[in-house]
Structure 1
Amino acid sequence: MDDSVVVRAADHAALYRVARRRARKEVQRKERVDVRYSVDEKTDILAEARRLGLAGAHFVGAVVMAHLYGDLALPDQRTGVDDLIDELAALRTQVAKIGTNVNQIAHRLNAGGDPHPVDTVVLAEAGRLLTTVKQAATAIDSAADVAATQRRAA
């Protein structure tokens, strides 16, 4: 039996989306809720918070509040629309990385030095690829907006 855990893109995207949404208050939050975690659970929580660039307490608070306000369902409460929105967010991130890589290639080719005969062809193809990436990102954003609107209306 395989004991490995399968982590879906939607799960990571959901945590990232809600953890970043929790805004600071004008007055410091002073109320506490104490919880206990195993050493392994605490290590996992802090690792995920670091990956998202957040303090551990901010991460835990954001996830709890998101769940309370209906923005993050527990695994058995998620709907297909929740998964769709989060998969689209993860896809958007991957498409954006493609655009970044193409930009880096174009920058390197335009940086000067002795051009190679193939550089012009590569730059033209990079331009076409960037156009395609922008169109894909726009389509993903539109689909995610439609899905989020339908989720709110439900």
Structure 2
Amino acid sequence: MRAADEAALRRVAHRRARQDVQRKERVDVRYSTDEKQAILAEARRHNLAGAHLVGAIVMAHLHGELALPEQRTAIDDLIDEYAALRIQLARIGTNANQIAHRLNAGGEAHPVDAAVLAVARQLVAAVRQTVTAVDTAADVAATNCRAA
């Protein structure tokens, strides 16, 4: 699965809000065994119920927030690639913070700890700048998409 597709699915699947009243209406859909297994596997991967995943995707499409594959534009892909990139950058920043925390926690210092800590600080600063740039670019792309 492409990073853009992964980001779009994650964004849509977790956006579906709970309602004050229980959802009682049903729509029956038939899937092949393979299709059902694929839906349930994807739902498990996102820690969702299969019905929640399917409902979220359908409602997102109806609200214009998720295009069918043949309706996606290059801007949709770009926005979702930015979202995936941001997740990866955040993980790098988390790892750098864990390194810095470990080195700042005290204990017996090794001769290279000061150098590693300095590099970790530089990495965290670079990741913050990059995340800001990615957020800005994604916002511009989304704004241009809405204006088009």
Q: TM-score, normalised by structure 1?
A: 0.92
Give matches, 1:108-127, under 5 Å. 108-127=102-121
Which consecutive residues of structure 1, in runs of 5 or more, have no partner in the other structure? Answer: 1-6
Shift of 1:112: 2.4
Residue 90 of structure 1 aligns with which residue? 84
Deviation of 1:147 after TM superposition, in Å, equals 1.1
CA distance in 1: counterparts of 2:145 and 2:15, whole angstroms: 18
Counterpart pick for 1:134 among 125, 128, 136: 128
Q: Which runs of 5+ in 2 are unaligned?
A: none
What RMSD in Å do the two structures reach over aligned CA positions? Answer: 1.0
Letter in 1 for 2:31: Y
Q: How does 1:43-62 map to 2 (within 5 A)?
A: 43-62=37-56
CA distance in 2, matches of 1:150, 1:39: 41
Give runs of ≥4 in structure 1 deviating > 4 Å.
none
CA distance in 2, matches of 1:30, 1:8: 35
1:3-152 alignment, distance < 5 Å: 7-152=1-146
Measure how far apart 1:142 and its partner are: 0.9
**CA separation in 2, counterparts of 1:29 and 1:120?**
57
Query: How far has the Cα of 1:69 moved from its partner?
Result: 1.3
SS in structure 2 opposite 1:21? coil
Distance, in Å, in 2 between the alignment partners of 1:136 and 1:110 is 24
Amino-acid identity (%): 73
The 2-side partners of 1:91 and 1:104 are apart by 20
CA distance in 1 between counterparts of 2:36 and 2:109 reads 53
Q: Deviations over 1:76-135 (max 9, x none)?
A: 110011000000000000000100111111122223221011101110110011000001
Give the whole-Å Cα distance in 1 for the aligned partners of 2:76 and 2:33.
Answer: 30
7-16 or 36-45: bigger deviation: 36-45
- Equivalent pairs counted in the alignment come to 148
Residue identity opposite 2:100 in structure 1: A
User: CA–CA distance in 2 between the matches of 1:54 and 1:111?
Assistant: 37
Q: CA deviation at 1:36?
A: 1.2
Which moves more between the two structures, 46-55 or 120-129?
46-55
Q: Which amino acid aligns with 1:30?
A: K
